[in-house]
Amino acid sequence: MVLLHAQNLSDYILEHIGFEIIMTDKVKEVEILQLQKSLDAQPFVKSTEYITKEEATKRLTDLLGKEFTGFLGDADNPLLPSIDVRFKAAWAKSDSIAKIEQLILANPRVKEVYYQKSMVHLINNNLHKITLALIAFSLLLFVIALALINNTIRLSVFSKRFIIRSMQLVGATENFIQKPFLLIGIAQGAVSAILACLLLYGIMETLLNQVPELSVLTGPETRFYLYLSVLLAGMIITSVSTYVAVSKFLHMKSDQFYG
């Protein structure tokens, strides 16, 4: 759950990274719309927004809280039309953005491209460190859970080692002996996984009720993959651990059963 939602958070942050394409003063609106349309068709673009001179003036006025253009007297509006571009997460990297910047600056209708290069580098660097830390933490928890599950199954099979030996003595094949153990292991793994999914569902619903803004990080697809991975992991881990434990006693010598 941590890894999936951390990835969604990373994508959400990266997809809000973009830059502002400042157009020249003499450019026609139809040319700006053509450029916007061509940008929308690019694989690295998540979304674009055309900001007219009037919209830019309104935004700056709302930001400053007063009519800043009044200081200019009869002078023309100094603000230029622009296009706000947001990138897809995979392209929101410093080197990729730099290449895209050069590509756009080659257009004679573009005056400049503005974005905070240091901020982009800082975000990518911090996200990389956080992702590595989360992966290490998740792997640690996985190893601990795997060890606990494996040891529990080994103890369970160990308590039935004499039943396994008795079945061998009456001529039962290895597959015949392993089958019921494996079926029970898979069933226990599935039940445990379902209980874990219900617990995860309760945790996520509680978090969403407390912090509704977290809804941007989760969705039906994310939850589906989360529950599916937990279910498959539960069944695979228990079946493999059971198979290994039973196989060990199937090939154990008689004098070792009392050791």
Q: Is residue 195 part of a domain?
A: yes
Domain extent for 69: 18-114
Q: Is residue 219 part of a domain?
A: yes
Q: Is residue 10 part of a domain?
A: no
Tell whether 109 and 136 lie within a shared domain. no
For residue 74, name the pLDDT band (cuts at 50, 70, 90). Answer: very low
- Whole-structure pTM value: 0.63
CATH number at 98 reads 3.30.70.3040
Q: Is residue 253 part of a domain?
A: yes
Under 8 Å between Cβ of 49 and 84? yes
Q: Is residue 11 part of a domain?
A: no
Tell whether 86 and 149 lie within a shared domain. no
Q: Of 193, 148, 186, 200, which is closest to residue 3 (Cα–Cα)?
A: 200
Q: What integer best gives the mean pLDDT of the chain? A: 84
Tell whether 54 and 28 lie within a shared domain. yes
Domain stops at, among 95, 114, 133: 114
Tell whether 237 and 179 lie within a shared domain. yes
Tell whether 40 and 102 lie within a shared domain. yes
Tell whether 100 and 149 lie within a shared domain. no
Tell whether 254 and 143 lie within a shared domain. yes
Q: Is residue 164 part of a domain?
A: yes
Which tokens is 141 given? 């928890």
Tell whether 250 and 161 lie within a shared domain. yes
Number of domains in the chain: 2
Domain stops at, among 114, 135, 170: 114
Tell whether 131 and 254 lie within a shared domain. yes
Tell whether 87 and 214 lie within a shared domain. no
How confident is the model over 173-188, as pLDDT tens digits?
Answer: 888 888 999 999 999 9
Report residue 257: phi and psi, to 5°: -65, -20
Asked whether the predicted pLDDT for residue 207 surpasses 50, the reply is yes
Q: How far is it, in rounded angstroms, from Cα 48 to Cα 22? A: 13
Tell whether 174 and 94 lie within a shared domain. no
Which range (80-84, 115-119, 174-178, 236-240) has the least confidence?
Answer: 115-119
Which range (191-195, 211-215, 239-243) has the least confidence?
Answer: 211-215
